[in-house]
């Protein structure tokens, strides 16, 4: 069964708009939640990550919002640019853990 559920599967956003991708998990032992960005022909690359001691983390145009009680976290891309067009994966693992669980991915297209 999928440990981390991700939606939507695909997303089309106008340049300058906000892209929002959502993830949900069930295992309350998870406490590391990264987002990875993948371009065609390349491996995933870490974009931003959060631990549940904070509800939000921002790095440039990218923000993770975390809702511990709802067991949900989301990625917000502000002022989306065509160069942001990629596949985005959320993931989760336990603190100190070695098993890693990815969501199913969201293909983002930002149109000029």
Partner 1 sequence: EAQVTQNPRYLITVTGKKLTVTCSQNMNHEYMSWYRQDPGLGLRQIYYSMNVEVTDKGDVPEGYKVSRKEKRNFPLILESPSPNQTSLYFCASSYYRGDQPQHFGDGTRLSIL
Interface residues with partner 1 (CB under 8 A)? 2, 6, 9, 31-32, 34, 41-46, 49, 89, 93-105
Question: Minimum Å distance from CB 112 to partner 1?
Answer: 27
User: What separation in angstroms does the CA of 98 have from each of 2, 5, 15?
Assistant: 17, 20, 38
8: preceding bond cis by omega (within 30 degrees) = yes
**Six token digits for residue 105:** 């991915």
- Least Cα distance to 72 among 108, 22, 110 occurs for 22
Beta bridge pairs of residue 109? 12
Grouping H, G, I as helix, E, B as strand and the rest as coil, residue 42 is: coil
Closer by beta carbon to partner 1, 17 or else 105:
105
Shortest spacing between CB 3 and partner 1, in angstroms: 8
DSSP one-letter code for 95: T
* CB closer to partner 1 out of 76 and 94: 94
- As measured in angstroms, the least distance from the Cβ of 71 to partner 1 is 17
Residue 44 CB, shortest distance to partner 1, in Å, is: 5
For partner 1, the closer of residues 13 and 33 by Cβ is 33
Nearer to partner 1, 2 or 67 (CB): 2
């Amino acid at each position: 069964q999928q440990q981390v559920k991700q939606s939507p599967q695909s997303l089309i956003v106008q340049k300058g708009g906000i892209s929002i991708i959502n993830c949900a998990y069930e295992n309350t032992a998870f406490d590391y939640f990264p987002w990875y960005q993948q371009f065609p022909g390349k491996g995933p690359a870490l974009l931003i990550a959060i631990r549940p001691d904070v509800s939000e983390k921002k790095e440039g145009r990218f923000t993770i919002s975390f809702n511990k009680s709802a067991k949900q976290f989301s990625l917000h891309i502000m002022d989306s640019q065509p160069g942001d067009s990629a596949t985005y994966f959320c993931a989760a693992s336990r603190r100190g853990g070695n098993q890693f669980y990815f969501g199913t991915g969201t293909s983002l297209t930002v149109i000029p």
